Amino acid sequence: MEKKWTELTPDEKREQRFRRWLSPPGVTFASPQAEKLYKERVTRFSKAFTLQKPDRVPCILPSMGLYAAYYAGTNLATVMYDFDEMKRAWRKVLHEFDADTFVPPVLVPPGPSLDAVDYKLYKWPGHGLTRSTLSYQAVEGEYMKADEYDALIRDPSDFWLRTYLPRVFGALKGFTQLPSWTSFEEIVTGNFLPFANPEVQAGFNAMAKAGMESLKWIAAVGEISAEALAMGFPGVMSALAKAPFDTLGDTLRGTQGIMTDIFRQPEKVHAAMERIAPIAINNALSSVAMAAAPIVMMPLHKGADSFMSVKQYETFYWPTFKKVVMAFVNEGIVPVLFAEGSYNKRLDIIGDFPKGTVAWYFDQTDIFEAKKKIGNRCCIMGNVPSSLIMTGTPQQVKEHCRKLIEVCGQGGGYVLAGGANVDEGNPENMRAMMEAAKEYGKY
Amino acid sequence: MSEDFVNKMADLKEEEVLALTKKRLAAGEDPNKILADNTAAMAIVGKRFAGGEYFLPELVFSGELLKEVMALVTPHLKESSAKTKKLGKVVIGTVAGDIHDIGLNIVEFMLDVNGFEVTNLGVDVPVEKFVKAVHDINPPVLGLSGFLTPAFDAMKETVEALEKAGLRKNLKIMIGGGQMDDEVRKYAKADAYGKDAMAAVTLSKQWIGAK
């Protein structure tokens, strides 16, 4: 008799999820060859993630972020608003690069939606940045004040709705006047009144417009995703999740704020992170449920070597981060932990996960040292330097990859990848990475 | 100099430092002495940061603490407060198309506590603004900060514009931040790459000839 999902062990859950990834429901492959390649690629990643030896080292090209815009001779400002151009650019990368995976334009935000709500947390080309800029960038700020911890901890959703959203979305400033949703109880009398307020209505209208604009965007993204799958390219990330410290430090309090809070109100920082952790977990779990790949990408930010001491990392960053990661592991999902910056001083701490359950994706960390210290427990990914990809020759890139594969590839559990995504640069350097994986990566 | 005050400030004891500041001011002490103590304390903070004992949180918090002390002291200051002699001028900024400022502000702090006169041009600084600043301020050292890969080209363009304006000859240029390294330094034709804020201090000292 088949066991219920909740009765399965984490390993059994992962096996089931991997099986679904291998034969995704609803996908019609373009040809038997495409299906064969798809299965080979998924198997390659699945084995590397679980510390086994695949047929060869899998490779994720650093061109999987916003690079397609540059490659197709357009730019981010254009593709954020012109979804036909977006499709053309991503299709060009899809057809012209040999790769193990493909990331559809999910990282291209829908410009008209952001405009509709007057998004202030980010600047993008043509909106705070010159049109030719190839990326969007977050605007550091105190979107939650130092004395608002109690409000956040008491009811995070309410805090988000009535305090945070009005600060980051100009069009939602009327939401400060919304009633608490939980005030609707029993017979309702005056509770509707705030919704008669024109500012509140303007907020809902803006959200509705953003939603309608996003429908056009998702149609375009979905079209490219489906094409990529049909051609045999699996996705390798289905959801994003953040470490609670980063949610607090990046999204809410800002660097200045969080660093000060560590000294002035450490217990509130801890309490807030405990409150944020289950929210991060549930958001990612619901995204994964809708996609084929059982993988959550966690871009990590303020836990890097240069941001805090080892002791601060152990005290403030690690505990709730580990809790989030373990929730994914226990659900049979592979967390890919992207360690932006350098993690050289964290290597004695970050391997503390069940063997073969998580992948550490390194940017500037000494990856050979990482392989030595945590390579027997965690999959290692990375880390061809962006500078080499941007300024080096294909030969130099290939040679660098050869060394990475020789050392990190030993015994399996390695994925060749860039240190970070690049937004421009010589396409031949990407192709050199793929060549290296095929030429030197065979087991 | 009050050793106790300096140590408490360097140890980031907020309440005690503020209480002591109030006490000293109430006792009619020369506020310039408190300023000198601030400088001494910040130098210790800078040293601890460089030595790996302090990290970004301590640096940020020391800045907060300094602001609080200054808010107490400033009303008591007379106009004639003695200016300390600076080692030399350094202009810094994050290049065009990039709005990251965390690293930039640490570099400003470290250069400042190590005795340099720093002009921080801020983020997303257009090439022309760098050229104008170098022309007007005439610093021996320029620091370019950048976090993302598009900064590679922005740095290169900035250096080339300075060459074109005839301002490159007596100017040393250092770069740093996120995805920067020595390859980028070569690409952008800068003089040095620094991996952290202390490197900016070491390079500036080396170039300006201060020990």
Closest by Cβ to B150, choosing from A260, A420, A423: A423
How many secondary structure helices (H) and strands (E) does chain B include? 9, 5
The pLDDT of residue A54 is above 90 = yes
* Most distant CA pair in chain B, distance: 58
Task: Name the CATH architecture for the domain at B3-76.
Answer: Orthogonal Bundle (1.10)
Q: Computed from CA positions of residues A322, A260, B49, A388, in that sequence, does the dihedral angle turn out positive or negative?
A: positive
CA distance A10 to A239: 19
pLDDT band at B79 (very low <50, low <70, confident <90, very high): low
For residue A8, the 8-state DSSP code is S
**Which residues of B lie inside 8 Å of A (Cβ-Cβ)?**
12, 14, 54-57, 59-61, 64, 96-102, 124, 148-150, 152-153, 178-181, 183-184, 186-187, 196
Domain ranges in chain B are 3-76, 89-208
pLDDT at residue B84 in the model:
63
Q: Is the pLDDT of residue A45 over 70?
A: yes
For residue A131, pLDDT beyond 80? yes
Q: Cβ(B152)–Cβ(B177) under 8 Å?
A: no
Question: A419 with A364: CB under 8 angstroms?
Answer: yes
DSSP string, A10-24: HHHHHHHHHHHHHS-
Q: What ipTM did this prediction achieve?
A: 0.84
Q: What residues contact A281, with CB distance under 8 A and at least 6 apart?
A: A241, A324, A327, A328
At B162-178, the pLDDT tens digits run 999 999 999 999 999 88
Distance between CA atoms of A355 and B107, rounded to whole angstroms?
A: 40
Q: In chain A, which residues have their Cβ closer than 8 Å to the Cβ of B152?
A: 387, 390-391
Alpha helix locations (H) across A232-308?
244-246, 254-264, 266-289
Best B8, B157, B180, B183 member to test A by mutation, with max A CBs in 10 Å, is B183
Find the CB nearest A391 among B55, B148, B184: B184
> Are the CB atoms for B141 and B207 separated by under 8 Å?
yes
CB contact under 8 A, A385 and B64: no
**d(C-alpha B31, C-alpha B18), whole Å:** 14
The structure tokens 């979804």 sit at: A83
Of A131, A259, A330, which Cα lies nearest the Cα of B105?
A259
Instruction: Please answer yes or no on whether A259 and B57 come within 8 Å at the CB atom.
Output: yes
Residue B141 dihedral angles phi and psi, to the nearest 5°: -130, 135
What pLDDT score was predicted for residue B1?
61
**What is residue B197's predicted lDDT score, i.e. its pLDDT?**
84
Whether residue B83 has pLDDT greater than 80: no
The matching CATH number, chosen from 3.40.50.300, 3.40.50.280, 2.115.10.20, 3.10.20.740, for B89-208 is: 3.40.50.280
| Pairwise CB contact (< 8 Å): A263 & B61 | yes
What pLDDT does A369 receive?
98
Taking contacts as CB-CB distances below 8 angstroms, the residues of chain A near B183 are 385, 387-388, 391-392
pLDDT of residue B50: 83
Lowest mean pLDDT among A346-355, A395-404, B65-74: B65-74
- Give per-residue pLDDT as tens, A312-341: 999 999 999 999 999 999 999 999 999 999
Short-list B119, B109, B107, B115, CA closest to B147: B107
Side-chain-side CA neighbours of A89 within 13 Å: the count stands at: 28
pLDDT of B210: 62
Q: Please judge whether A392 and B196 are an interchain contact, meaning their C-beta atoms are less than 8 angstroms apart.
A: no
Q: Which of B55, B66, B128, B189 to mutate to test the interface with A (most CBs of A within 10 A)?
A: B55
Please tell me the predicted confidence (pLDDT) of residue A227: 96
Sorted by where each starts, the structural domains of chain A and their CATH numbers stand as 1-61+233-443 (3.20.20.210), 66-96+103-231 (no CATH)
Decide if A41 contacts A58 (C-beta within 8 A). Answer: yes
Dihedral (C-alpha) A119, A120, A125, A128: value to the nearest 10 degrees? 140
Instruction: Please say whether the beta carbons of A113 and A217 come within 8 A.
Output: yes
B102: nearest CB among A255, A260, A419:
A255
Q: Who's near B102: CB < 8 A, 6+ residues apart?
A: A140, A255, B56
Task: Give backbone dihedrals phi and psi of B193, rounded to 5 degrees, phi first.
Answer: -115, 135
Q: Judge if pTM exceeds 0.95.
A: no
pLDDT tens digit sequence for A67-117? 999 999 999 999 999 999 999 999 999 999 999 999 999 999 999 999 999
Q: Which residue of B lies nearest to A390 if distances are taken between CA atoms?
A: B149
A386·B179 Cβ contact <8 A: yes
Confidence band, pLDDT 50/70/90 cuts, at residue B103: confident
SS3 label, residue A105? helix
DSSP A363: S
Residue with tokens 């990375």: A382
Greatest CA separation found in chain A?
Answer: 73
Supply the mean pLDDT for chain A.
95
Using 50, 70 and 90 to split pLDDT, how confident is the model at A1? low
Q: Give the pair of three-digit tokens for residue A198.
A: 């024109």
Whether residues B97 and A387 touch (CB distance < 8 A) is answered with no
Residue A295 gets which letter from DSSP? E
**CB-count exposure of residue B193 (10 Å: 0-12, 13-18, 19+):** buried
Angle between helices B14-26 and B31-50 (to 10 degrees): 160
Q: Which of B49, B99, B193 to mutate to test the interface with A (most CBs of A within 10 A)?
A: B99
pLDDT tens-digit readout, A238-256: 899 999 999 999 999 999 8
Nearest one of A295, A302, A291, A349 to A322, comparing CA atoms: A349
Cα dihedral sign for A208, A210, A216, A222? negative
DSSP, collapsed to helix, strand or coil, labels residue B132 as helix
In Å, how far from its chain's centre is CA B88?
12
B97 contacts on A by Cβ (under 8 Å): 129-130, 132-134
Query: B130, B161 in Cβ contact below 8 A?
Result: yes
Give the end-to-end CA distance of chain A in Å, rounded to a whole number.
Answer: 38
CB contact under 8 A, A132 and B97: yes
Contact by Cβ (8 Å): A159, A209: no
Q: How far is CA B113 from each of CA B3, B38, B181, rounded to the nearest angstrom?
A: 18, 10, 25
